[in-house]
Structure 1
Amino acid sequence: MQRQRRIKKQSKVKVSWIVTSVILVLLFSVFIIFHQAEKPMRTARSQTVSMAKKYAGLTTVSSFYSSNLNKTYYSVAGTDNKGKKIYVIIAKKGGTITVVNQSSGLSVDAIRNVVQEKKSPKKINSISLTLIKGKPYWVVSYLNSSNNLCFATLNFKTGNVYRSINNI
């Protein structure tokens, strides 16, 4: 009788170790998958920051943006070596660098307010900078009241809607 209890107890211990091991392997696998999925954006950010520091004199970085309309642009916001607040917009292909004074246009918070007033979104997903015909624009991704994905491209200086894509 005692022998049967000991065998049952040993088998329960083995099963619990196997279950624990499987859970740990799954958690580790999920961590690795997420880590690898984020790697391209981390690489883009670090390359954008280093190019902005080298070619635009950026000293501090406060934000990073990524936009992909017709072309992909990576942007950073920060302060240059003269103490001016700037945005540095870099094209993914070609590496063309555009420097824009933050004071010459609307801030992210101002654009968020404009979109709230004009579009009444349920949720704003992202706001980023892009270039269209060499001029800076804000691109806003949001969910409307019907939970449909929408994009609005707003003029950097005025906040006027340049282009709007609704109900994707």
Structure 2
Amino acid sequence: MNRSTKILLTISLVILALVSMITYVNLSSAPYSSARSQSNKIANTSAGIVNPDYFGNYSRTDQYYAVGGLTQKKQYRYVIINAKTGKTQTVNKGNAPMRESIINGVSERYDPTKILHIDLGLYKKKPTWEVAFKNKNGTIGYNLVDFKTGKSVQVINNI
């Protein structure tokens, strides 16, 4: 094989690898993108959310998708959607603590190295935040926090 053939073969292999990686990333993110898009449509239809800025995927005993955002009347609300049945529950933000204050409370209580996610769903039929975090010893913790009061409902730590 001469030098130009080797260069052409190398370039072809690099392009093939890049195309394969891009295809893999697109295919692996498709279910998430589809769930988010469908949830935004449901939130608009059922609760009038026109400017969604939050999407969460809560999995406990049941799986829920949650969308948060402003309505046309500039009211902030969340819609919690049961992923299996499609039933929705609308929750107005009202005087409930903001997501940031829930995260700050978990950070103060457990001093994690990183907050992994905060997702809204139903726990015992009540709106509940699930905050997942990474501890300093490398383990994972979950803190379920009541949506309205901001009080801890359940803690699973050092998994």
Scaled to the shorter chain, the TM-score interval is over 0.9
Tell me how large the CA RMSD over aligned residues is.
1.2
Asked whether 1:34 is paired with 2:25, we answer yes
Asked whether 1:81 is paired with 2:81, we answer no
Give distance in 1, aligned partners of 2:81 and 2:95: 18
Asked whether 1:56 is paired with 2:47, we answer yes
Give distance in 2, aligned partners of 1:88 and 1:56: 7
Q: State the shift of 1:33 in Å.
A: 0.6
TM-score w.r.t. structure 1 length? 0.90
Q: Percent identity?
A: 31
Q: State the shift of 1:139 in Å.
A: 0.2
Q: What amino acid sits opposite 2:87 in the alignment?
A: T
Asked whether 1:105 is paired with 2:86, we answer no
Name the residue aligned to 1:145. Answer: 136
More helix by share: 1
Q: What amino acid sits opposite 2:42 in the alignment?
A: M
Unpaired runs of at least 5, structure 2: none
Q: What amino acid sits opposite 1:40 in the alignment?
A: P
Out of 105, 109, 129, which is 2:120 matched to?
Answer: 129
**What secondary structure is seen at the aligned counterpart in 2 of 1:76?**
strand
Give distance in 1, aligned partners of 2:12 and 2:93: 52
Asked whether 1:46 is paired with 2:42, we answer no
Q: Figure out how many residues of one structure are paired with residues of the other and give that number.
A: 159
From the superposition, tell whether residues 86 and 125 of structure 1 become closer, same or farther in structure 2 (CA, over 3 Å). Answer: same
Out of 147, 154, 157, which is 1:163 matched to?
Answer: 154
TM-score w.r.t. structure 2 length? 0.95
Q: State the shift of 1:130 in Å.
A: 0.9
